[in-house]
Copies of this chain bind each other. A is one copy, B any other.
Amino acid sequence: MGRTSDARQKILDAAQALIELRGYSALGVAEICKAAGVPKGSFYYFFESKESLALTVLDEHWAAQRTAWTGLLTDTATPPLHRLRRLFEETEAAQLAGQQDCGTVSGCMFGNLSLEMSNQTEAVRTRLQEIFDAQVDMVEAVVAEARDRGEAGVTDVHEAARSVVAQLEGQVLFAKLYNSTGRLGSLWPNCLALLAARAPEGTAVRA
């Protein structure tokens, strides 16, 4: 039992690392099993197909990210705009840690797979839509709070939240392409611009 679930987790960990590095299409089941150090036969014991593995990798990755985002974005001891700022700082720190770990900025797995796979498998497209919908909802709640406190001038908070997440995805794309996390420093001032907000007192906007 211990060994069994261990093998499943090894496959998932290897798949996640390989997908981050090289995307999904280029990967084969044999390669994933080799990297995981498990016999190829055991793959189909745990996963029906490569697609079902991809969905599980997405779910695991989102479960971890959702926990982190929830911790940051629902921390009511922190003013709402500060929470968004911390989200960007944590994103930059995570991308930097990944770069130090494997030499290149790996970007956002959800964005990567949206562009690589969304037109190829409807199951993956639907799952990625749900993940981004959830991200936008979480950001929207914070934007609404900032608006209610008179700290953000936007009226359509859903649209504004979607634009903040789109800006995040676009800048992370550039961070990956240019292999530079410094590009993420503009997330905070751009978020303020998109929300028609000013930098709260005690926070500096990086140039």
Contacts and interface: CB of A to CB of B under 8 A. Distances in A.
Given A112-B116, A132-B177, A156-B207, 16 more contacts: A22-B120, A23-B115, A25-B25, A104-B119, A111-B173, A114-B177, A115-B115, A115-B173, A118-B176, A118-B177, A119-B176, A159-B186, A165-B170, A166-B167, A169-B170, A193-B194
Q: How large is the interface on A (under 10, 10 to 19, 20 to 34, 35 or more residues)?
A: 35 or more
A196 to B, nearest CB: 7
A56 interface: no
Contact of A173 (B114, B125, B186, B207): B114
15 contacts: A22-B25, A23-B23, A23-B115, A25-B26, A26-B120, A104-B119, A115-B115, A115-B116, A156-B207, A163-B171, A166-B171, A166-B173, A167-B190, A173-B173, A193-B196
Nearest to A178: B129
**Residue in A114, A115, A174 with the greatest tally of chain B CB atoms within 10 Å:** A115
A106 interface: yes
The SS class assigned to the A binding surface is helix
Q: Which 5 A-B pairs have the closest CB atoms?
A: A166-B170, A170-B170, A25-B26, A25-B25, A169-B170
A128 interface: yes
Contacts of A171: 163, 166, 170
